[in-house]
Structure 1
Amino acid sequence: MIFPYEAFLMSTGIVALAEIGDKTQLLAFMLAARFRRPWPIIAGILIATLANHAFAGAVGTWVTTVLGPDVLRWVLGLSFIAMAIWTLIPDKLDDDELSTPKLGVLGTTIVAFFLAEMGDKTQVATVALAAQYNALIAVVAGTTLGMMIANVPAVVVGDRIAHRMPVRLIHCIAAALFAVLGIATLTGFGMD
């Protein structure tokens, strides 16, 4: 079996861009500022993301077995367009998402990231991408890498780069990618 590089690269790029300024990236900044221990935070982000996105990818793959091709095309196309719109809405982090201090740095990061990612745009994107490409491993690897690309620098250099990133421009690029993917899906352009 040939590794589906398109699914991997698209998943990586979309999630890395969509994650900039996302609630979970804000959480990464807060964890870094609070604990000042980057390695357990990075490990926690990786573990939580793998678990969350593997579940989301499995749901996306399962959806392809339940919906017929025409219904699936419409659901996916409209989902990608909805993701484009959602990406343009700024996220904010709730104070209660860091309220588990007895678990240590690693445990707190895993729990906080896993919960913050539930229903988040990158989790929904993982579901849609897994359904679109029907390539569970490539999509989960790509979305996880995209999360790490966006969040590891947030943990390592924290606030020093937070205010220098053109978040609005990055969100517009991610939204455009989601919109193009949605339109391509709806029109059947580039589909097998």
Structure 2
Amino acid sequence: MGSQCYIACAARENPFKGILQTLEKPDRYGSGDFGHFYCLPALNDPQILLESEIRNCDEFQVKAEDGEKILDWEKTSKNQVEIPFKPARVLLQDFTGVPSLVDLACTRDAINRLGGDPDKINPVIPVDLVIDHSIQVDVARSETAVKVNMELEFHQNKERCAFLKWGSNAFCNMLIVPPGSGIIHRVNLEYLGRVVFNKDGVKYPLGPNGLEPICNPKV
């Protein structure tokens, strides 16, 4: 909890606020606007990575010089430089997502023992966790196969399912898709994938998606 307070105190005003523009509504939608966005063409370099650096720049975790490294990529690409990156969203499946959820739960437990507020421990970046590597095929060639396999899954992994159910309600900024909903690729493509995100009225793109490129925005 102390580190959170330090981060909040150390963060400063975004030095790139000058390129924050308003997305006006066309006349047919009435008056007003759809929100705001960081106009990268104003910097002559419309890249997803640069957009993330500019939007998250707080001169603490992400600094203005990090954006300058991207703008000057022809020089910096020849050197070993580090650039912090905060994606719009993190997509996880069982093997990576469940251990991450355990880490978050353990951190909350530690904060609680120290007398802090465990509810303050949440993913900083939105997380979609799809449980799709769980159900095994014990019954096949039957009209009731899906139902029986689902029942066996929830019975055999009762504690695991209860933990995931708790996590889906306990943490902010996290969506957990339960077993039996489909494989992560299909769930992401048909339900979770979105081109534009909105946070506090600021619009920003999803960014690179290695699973389903069709979900990627055109930049």
> How does the TM-score come out when normalised to structure 2?
0.26
Higher relative helix content: 1
> How does the TM-score come out when normalised to structure 1?
0.28
Higher relative strand content: 2
Higher relative contact order (CA 8 A, sep 6+): 1
